[in-house]
Amino acid sequence: MNAWKVGEAKQQFSKVLRLAADTPQQVWNRDALVAVVIGAREAQEFLSWKQQKRTPSLSQALEEVRFLANEDNYKMIAPKRSDRLHAIGLRLINPFEAYP
């Protein structure tokens, strides 16, 4: 992996890009690593890996549970909903019941 100072990398940008196709190029500002230029192949591999490692959303996770349950003929039974008191003592209306 080659190391470049910011000024050198600016002056020889096309060379940095050409070398990055084969091996990542580090860009340093004084004693701090500020960037790494990588080739398109490595970038695609990283983006694919990142997409695979992505944490599923809650809806995706529930959809997977629903799929697995259906696969095993498992019936998910939800408990009956009921009214409950709110923190300030007001009665909350169950939205699944018909209004009187």
Cα separation of 1 and 28, whole Å? 13
State both tokens at 3: 């190391």
- Helix-strand-coil split of the chain, %, nearest 5: 40, 15, 40
Q: Which CATH class is domain 2-71?
A: alpha beta
Q: What is the C-alpha R_g of the chain?
A: 28
Domain ranges of the chain: 2-71
pLDDT tens digits in sequence order for the chain, 100 residues long: 799 999 999 999 999 999 999 999 999 999 999 999 999 999 999 999 888 877 778 888 888 888 888 888 887 777 787 766 666 656 666 666 655 5
